[in-house]
């Protein structure tokens, strides 16, 4: 990436913050928003904020181009991997010293409670970690690829079509991959289907609701950064980190 842009570092920071926060929230709580079209809207809490990462990706690809967005995706991937590994390692380390104050009187129950609390809030299993990483990587690159191609095809018109269309594909892949990797064989099939549908409907719904704000942010950034990139000759190889 380059430092010639005024706001790229801000978007990068917010993108990574949303990505990491959503993954911590996913492990911490399941939320229930009732019923929609006869289906229960039950999903991990991280889903409430994770769709914002796709909005940031849309903005990055639309304004700065696929090459810049590709590097941001990799930065997010490495950050997510590092956080997951640290939490898993910390989770399996001996915890007695960490709760020394609560166990000074010989209360072993307090020490057990402390470890259980950590495991429930921040504990991660290898399937959750793998599902999050693979789903994020696949969904993000597909989202940005579709948006970049649609921008060229529409000659920069119909921004709503590009943002919503790319989200329909990218979030679909993300949701399906994560659910299958993390929960296939763990949850009953009917619950797994409800989880996939609820996540997908909510994520796409967030993209639709935030479309007017996306228009405002994109148009303002294009003016401030003097940048409106078209990926007409871009190499879309996701493993190529140079422009």
- Spatial CB neighbours of 228, under 8 Å, sequence gap ≥ 6: 63, 156, 222
The single residue listed with the structure tokens 């422009």 is 243
φ, ψ for residue 104, nearest 5 deg: -60, -30
Element (H, E) at 84: helix 66-92
Q: What is the pLDDT of residues 26-38, one digit of tens each?
A: 766 777 777 776 7
The single residue listed with the structure tokens 């166990």 is 103
Closest CA to 144 of 15, 4, 43, 45: 15
- Helix, coil or strand: residue 35: strand
Q: What is the pLDDT of residues 192-230, one digit of tens each?
A: 888 888 889 989 999 999 999 999 999 999 999 999 999
67, 243 contact by CB (below 8 A): yes
- Mean pLDDT over residues 50-73, rounded? 94
Closest CA to 201 of 53, 46, 51: 51
Provide the whole-model pTM.
0.85
Q: What is the pLDDT of residue 153?
A: 96
The pLDDT confidence band at residue 43, using thresholds 50, 70 and 90, is confident
What does the mean pLDDT of the chain come to? 85
Q: What is the pLDDT of residue 230?
A: 96
Query: Does the pLDDT of residue 243 top 70, yes or no?
Result: no
The pLDDT confidence band at residue 106, using thresholds 50, 70 and 90, is low
Q: What is the pLDDT of residue 177?
A: 94
168, 205 contact by CB (below 8 A): no
| Domain parsing of the chain, residue ranges | 8-224
Closest CA to 66 of 11, 148, 124: 148
Q: What is the pLDDT of residues 86-105, one digit of tens each?
A: 888 887 777 655 454 454 45
């Amino acid at each position: 990436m380059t430092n010639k842009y005024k706001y790229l570092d801000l978007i990068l920071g917010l993108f990574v913050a949303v990505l990491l926060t959503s993954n911590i929230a996913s492990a911490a709580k399941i939320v229930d928003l009732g019923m929609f079209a006869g289906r229960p809207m039950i999903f991990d809490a991280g889903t409430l904020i994770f769709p914002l990462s796709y909005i940031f990706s849309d903005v990055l690809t639309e304004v700065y181009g696929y090459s810049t967005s590709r590097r941001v995706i990799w930065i997010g991937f490495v950050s997510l991997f590092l956080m997951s590994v640290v939490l898993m390692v910390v989770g399996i380390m001996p915890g007695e010293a960490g709760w020394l104050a609560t166990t000074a009187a010989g209360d072993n129950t307090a020490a057990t409670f402390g470890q259980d609390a950590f495991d429930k809030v921040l504990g991660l299993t290898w399937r959750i970690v793998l599902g999050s990483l693979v789903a994020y990587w696949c969904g993000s690159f597909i989202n940005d690829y579709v948006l970049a191609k649609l921008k060229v095809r529409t000659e920069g018109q119909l921004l709503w079509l590009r943002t919503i269309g790319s989200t329909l594909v990218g979030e679909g892949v993300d949701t399906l991959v994560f659910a299958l990797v993390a929960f296939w064989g763990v949850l009953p099939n009917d619950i797994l289907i409800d989880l996939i549908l609820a996540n997908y409907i909510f994520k796409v719904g967030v993209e639709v609701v935030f479309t007017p704000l996306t228009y405002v942010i994109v148009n303002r950034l294009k003016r401030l950064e003097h940048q409106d990139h078209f990926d007409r000759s871009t190499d879309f190889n996701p493993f190529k980190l140079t422009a």
